Amino acid sequence: MLTGREYGTAIEGGLKVLEMDRTNGLARWLLTTAYERKGDFPKAIDLQEETSVLYGETKESAARRFQPLRRAYQSQGSKGYWRTNLEQYRSEWKRKPGEPYHLAALYSSTGDRQNASFGWKRLIRRALRNLLIG
């Protein structure tokens, strides 16, 4: 549904899954992605914040963490949202490396094709290393 750009259908399906199991992490991630791709960034932010609280972060901490993303979207639109999302992910990456795929996708969303390419290359190297070692 996401690859076919049927975001409304993806959102509807994600909401149904969450009605049955509100802790379903995959449904939450897919729903957030559908909101982002549809351009409904306030709902994407709300869902991310709600998910953080559901998984143990305090409401106050989550509100503080997502406030820069809200402000960036309100003042700069989607470009501000993606840039701030990327900055936050890169900051977290310094403490605990994440997924190269996610980093590449964020760079791609900001329009930074050169760094997106670096992320994809890193992902491919990791996959090859896992195939050869594992």
The model's pLDDT over 94-103, given as tens digits with 9 standing for 90+, comes to 777 666 667 7
Task: Tell me, yes or no, whether 112 lies in a domain.
Answer: yes
Domain count within the chain: 1
Residue labelled with tokens 């890169």? 90
pTM comes to 0.77
What distance in Å separates the CA atoms of residue 13 and residue 90, rounded to the nearest whole number? 31
Lowest mean pLDDT among 27-31, 62-66, 101-105: 101-105
- Residue at token pair 């760094």: 115
Kindly list the distances between the CA atom of residue 73 and the CA atoms of 28, 41, 92, 117, in Å, as whole numbers in the listed order: 20, 7, 20, 25
Question: pLDDT at position 72, please?
Answer: 97
Provide the percentage of residues in the chain whose pLDDT is more than 90.
Answer: 57
Helix, strand, or coil (residue 50)? helix
Q: What are phi and psi of 87, to 5 degrees?
A: -60, -45
Residue 121: band (very low, low, confident or very high) from pLDDT cuts 50, 70, 90: low
Q: Kindly report which listed range (28-32, 37-41, 71-75, 130-134) carries the lowest average pLDDT score.
A: 130-134
Residue 30 lies in a domain: no
Identify the band that residue 64 occupies on the pLDDT scale cut at 50, 70 and 90.
very high
Domain presence at residue 29: no
Instruction: Establish if 119 belongs to a structural domain.
Output: yes
Q: The domain containing residue 111 runs over which residues?
A: 100-134
